[in-house]
Structures are given as C-alpha cells and as structure tokens.
Amino acid sequence: MPVVTPSTTQPEYDVAIVGSGAGGGQMAYTLTLAGVKCVMLEAGRSYDPASETPMFNSGEHAPLRGVSTPDKDFGFFDATIDGGWQVPGEPYTQASDKQEEQFWWWRARMMGGRTNHWGRISLRNGPYDFKPRSHDGLGFDWPVTYEEIDPYYTMVESLIGVYGTNCGLENTPDSPEGVLLPPPKGRLAELVAQKYGKKLGIPFMPIHRAVLTRPLDSVNIPKKLHPGNEWAQKIVAESMLRRAACFWATDCGRGCSIGANYQSTTVHLPPALASGNLDIVPNAHVREVILSDSGKATGVLYIDKTTGKEERIKAKTVVLAASSGETVRILMNSNGGKGIANSSGLVGKYIMDTVGTRVSGQVPLLENVPPHNEEGAGGSHFYAPWWGYRDQASGKLDFPRGYHIELGGSRSMPIGNSPVPAEYTRGTYGKKFKEEMRRYYGSFVSYSCRGEMIPNEDSYCELDPKVKDKWGIPVVRWHWKWSEHEIKQVAHARKTFVELIESMGGTAHVDKDAKPLDYIDPGGKIIHEVGGAIMGADPKTSVTNSWNQTWDIPNLLVCDGSPFASNADKNPTLTIMAMAWRAADHLVEESRKGNL
C-alpha cells in the first residue's frame, strides 16, 4: 500500500487519518503495525527528505544567500514547502485589528507536516503539567496522570531517538536509564551561560532533542516496543538501520537525508508503509467528516488539490491529526457547517500557544575566541528547565506556572546575514574591518523564554461568516488575548535575561522603556498552538475523553494538540506522540472488542 491517487484508493479502510505529522504519523505507525488497514490524507504534496534535503549547501548556493523571503519564512533551505504564515488560496482572518490580539497561524503543506522543520526539543510534561488546576487552582486538569503517560513517553523516546541527560529536578521528569542518547557537549556560549547561571540559581544543562548522537539499538528496541510481534519487530529494525547518527552537517530545520533527526517522514511513515497496511493520499484538503444517519463517523470528504474535485474516503474510524487550527476547522465545517462533536460548545475554545520573548546581548568575554567549529546538532545543546516552583509556592513571584530558557550564541556558519551587527563594524574597512569581524564573531548571545499559557475564554477560533478558501470552504477566524499571567511571566523573563547577560560583563540589547505587551511574542508565533478540542472527564466540559475519542462520536478521534487541556512550558510534540500512541493502542483494543 503506497502513495496513491483518489482513483486508486480502497473501497473502505479500517481507519482514515487526516494529517501526516507527529500525531498522524504516530497513529499510522502504531495502527498499521498492529495489522489495521489505514489511509492517510495529507493536505500538501509528497516529500522525501532523503532526496530533497540540501545537506551540504551553504549560503552561496541559494538565492539571496538563503535569507528569509515571503514564501520561505525560515530561509531558502528550510524544509517547509508550500506552507508558512500565509498559504495561497487558504486564508485565515482576525477578529480584531489590534496588533496584540492577532494570531499568527503557521501551516505546513507537505508530507510529515511540521515535523520536517521543527526544533526537535522533546521534553516530557511533568506531574504538575497534567494536573495544573489541582496544583494552583487555574486552568483545567487533564483526565490522565503523568504515571499513565510515562510508559508511552519512554516508547516514543526509544523509537525516535532523543539525546539528553536526567536532572532530577522538580516537575522535570527523568527517562529510564539507557533510554536517552548521549548529549553533545555544550558550545562555548552555553558553557558560559551554565557558569554564570549557577550564580543566579538558573540550572543550565543538556536539553532533550530528537537527534541521534549514535545509531539506535535495532536489535533490542523493536522487541521492547512490539513484544510478541516478530513481524513488526523486523520492520522497525530495518527502518532503524536506515538511520545514521548525526555528524553535524547542517541545521535540523532543513530536514535530514540520513534520518539522524526525527521526522515523521523518516521515522513513522517508512515502517507504516513497509507494513503494507497504509495508503497515503497527498494533496488532499479535507473539508469535513462524514456521518451516518446514526451519527457515527463513516469517512471524510476532501478536495483533490490536483483536480479541484470533491472526493470521499470511507472508513470505520476517523482520526483527525491535522494540527489544532486545521482539526477545529474540519470539525466546525462538518455536518453542513453546523459542526460535530460539539455538544459541550467547546470546539474551537481555549486555543493556547507557548509564551515567548527574547533578549540578546554582546559579551566581551566571548570576543577574539580562536576559530573553532560550533555547528553542532542544529539547535540548542543546553537549556534551563523552570527553576521557580519553590518561589511560586512561597508567594515570591507574581505569576503562576513557568518557562524554560532556550539559548542562542555560537560561531555557526552564517547564512545570508552578517554574524556581526553593523554597528560593531561601522566606519571600518579593509584590514581593520576584518579584525573587528574576527573580534566580535561569536560574542553575541540570546535567551528565549518558552513559557506556559493558561487557557482563557478570549483565545479561540471560529468559522468566518464571509471568507472562504479557493474551494469555497469557510476559513478560520482567530480571537486572541494574553492574560496578566503571561504578561507578568515575560516581564520576569526579560529581567532574568538582562541580569544573566550583565553578570557575564555583557550588554543586553533591550529598550528599557518597552512594556511587556510590546515584547511578548504574538500568539501563534512559537508555532505551538494546541487546544480547541480539550479533553476531560466530563462530556459537558470537554470535547474528548482521556483516550482522545470525541464524546459525541466515539469512532472519531482527535490526535494532535487539539485535546491539550493545558500547554506546559515543555514543547508539545513529544506529548502529542505519546498521547497518540496510547490512543492507538486503545483503539486497537476497542476494535477487537467490537466497541467501535
């Protein structure tokens, strides 16, 4: 069962999966290796990292030396194709003209979705993150505990390969011994941050990222993931053998032709396809879920982007994993635009993103460093998990929840832009210019807040009553508002980052008159939108149950970030995969019992 066209699909499948990213890829992997016949619908084109990744290209090999352009927001070499903040023919709208109430919506229109260009930061949610309301009285509790998801985190980490170390810190869960791969050593700017951060009580340490620092154990890991299923073990082992360890060739956002980093296209989909149980239909823009007269999901209706024609797929179960905004759009457009799975009235409500702000600076301590290679794993080697739980518990901080710190600063290969801001070399030329470039290159640092947003009633999406996409389908209209919790959080982060830079003897580049609303990143900019179909223990106050099944339609599952009842400071992708694997196991068991 390969990549197919609408005319060559099967009359009916066991499961139709909408979306091919982290959630959809994980569902396809788990279900097909359990013998379930699946079809996957992807709104973008087919994509093969092995042949399409520009692994060894530098700036001179790209137009404009590879810098960002309107149709390649993250630069020419970024893996994202046919997607970005704006997608031609597929607009979205804003409910407010105020800049602080705008939501930036990133969409990837390609096989594997956002997993092709993401940062690969793979952090487990902790016990507080699954029960935030019980912890501090705000937001919503998940209907699951950390202990229930723990084994699925371990399986996902083992399958995709995650480097890092265990730290034993509060609400920052460790992985079982032997699961994490060895982390790369810290770059100079990261080691300096660790040294001076310690004096401020900030615990910088190796981050967890989905990049192979050594080949996976293809002999033992498949046996642990699929006990008693030798057929699946063989397929997974062969897939693991095709992946090589990272040799620091390029940044991970380009994709990876050797499979060293995690992408759905190199980790989840190859074994699913090798099982013979998966068909993939690319360029399939899903409009709605089709229901029977009895209210069960029977398939999906989609637009074939290559012909513009409406097509249908029939399936016994439907899984939506298209990203929060897209999944909500499909739910609301179903049933003739009346919506489905919405007896609670909460479809589209409580959209969340990660709280972000950034401070950069220049540190003389890092000037005139001898030339050395700091390319590394294409992203952070170190980070600082949230360290302020005790201060919050004692009332020393004026905001709940927390943020982790991501670091920037190294002598990485410049792409397009000068690695030294113009004000540091202005007025120089010739030999003096070269001396100044060598002096300052690598002396710039940056620190980014990645914090928890508490769900609020002012952040949601709905169908625009007038605007439609090129196929006549109503589009999403966004409502957005940061609460005082997030505003106070970024104020704390900025103050912390300035103190850290100044403790090194550096100068922070900040506007001292700026207000928090001026420097908090717009909603959606961190590309971590979750919520819109939150899970819970009561169908009156949630959209899905603890198994990602919609309460109203048990054979309709939501397996992306939409069911998140909260958005911890930990990046959501690992949790999306863990929850999807758990949902897939439950789906297989329920199907065997005849309950679906």
Give one DSSP letter per residue of 474-512, joined into a string: EEEEEE----HHHHHHHHHHHHHHHHHHHHTT-EEE--T
CA dihedral in degrees (481, 473, 105, 582; nearest 10)?
A: 90
Asked whether residue 29 carries a pLDDT value surpassing 90, the answer given is yes
Structure tokens at 491: 């104020």
- Kindly tell me if the per-residue pLDDT of 132 is higher than 50: yes
65-74, 360-369, 452-461: the lowest-pLDDT one: 65-74
Q: What is the pLDDT of residue 373?
A: 81
Burial of 122 (0-12, 13-18, 19+ CB in 10 A): buried
pLDDT at 199 over 90: yes
Looking at residue 593, its pLDDT comes to: 87
**CB-based contact 121:576 (threshold 8 Å):** no
Mean pLDDT along residues 479-488: 98
- State the average pLDDT over residues 415-422: 84
DSSP state of 60: G
Name the β-bridge partners of 90: 87
**Binning pLDDT at 50, 70 and 90, where does residue 405 land?**
very high
**pLDDT digits over 285-294, tens only?**
999 999 999 9
Amino acid at 557: L
Per-residue model confidence (pLDDT) at position 1: 45
Beta strands 284-291 and 297-304 are: antiparallel
When the pLDDT of each residue in the chain is averaged and rounded to a whole number, the result is 96
- What mean pLDDT is predicted for residues 479-489? 98
Q: How many CA atoms lie within 13 A of 158 on its CB side?
A: 24
pLDDT in tens, 111-128: 999 999 999 999 999 999
Looking at residue 514, what is its pLDDT?
A: 96
Percent of the chain with pLDDT over 70: 100
| Strands 93-94, 474-479: pairing kind | parallel
- pLDDT computed for residue 135 by the predictor: 95
Q: In this predicted structure, what is the pLDDT of residue 499?
A: 98
Distance of CA 290 to the CA centre of its chain: 28
**CA-based nearest residue to 368, from 421, 302, 434, 414:** 434
Report the first-to-last Cα separation within the chain, whole angstroms: 24
**What would the pLDDT profile of 2-13 be if each residue is shown by its tens digit?**
799 999 999 999
- Give percent above pLDDT 90 in the chain: 90
Find, among 463, 442, 146, the residue nearest to 287 by Cα: 463
Task: Look at phi and psi of residue 26 and say left if phi exceeds 0, alpha if psi is from -120 to 50, else beta.
Answer: alpha
pLDDT category at 185 given cuts 50, 70, 90 is very high
Instruction: Give the confidence band of 198 by pLDDT, cuts at 50, 70, 90.
Output: very high
Nearest to 377 by CA among 226, 204, 230, 184: 184
Closest of 252, 55, 276, 239 to residue 163, by C-alpha? 252
d(C-alpha 124, C-alpha 136), whole Å: 20
| Residue 336 to residue 327: CA distance in whole angstroms | 16
Closest CA to 132 of 489, 574, 566: 566
Residue 513 buriedness (CB in 10 A; 0-12 / 13-18 / 19+): exposed
| pLDDT (0 to 100) of residue 328 | 98
Residue 430 makes CB contacts below 8 A (sequence gap 6+) with: none
Q: Closest Cα partner for 502 from 515, 512, 490, 514?
A: 512
Under the banding of pLDDT at 50, 70 and 90, the label for residue 67 is confident
User: Is the confidence at residue 160, as pLDDT, over 80?
Assistant: yes
The rounded radius of gyration (Å) of the Cα atoms in the chain is 23
Nearest C-alpha neighbor of 181 from the set 6, 381, 18, 384: 381
CA distance 559 to 337: 22
What lies within 8 Å, CB to CB, of 63 at 6+ separation is 69, 76
User: Average pLDDT in the 485-508 region?
Assistant: 98
Distance set, CA 23 to CA 4, 84, 573 (Å): 21, 20, 8
Parallel/antiparallel/unpaired status of strands 507-509 and 355-362 = antiparallel
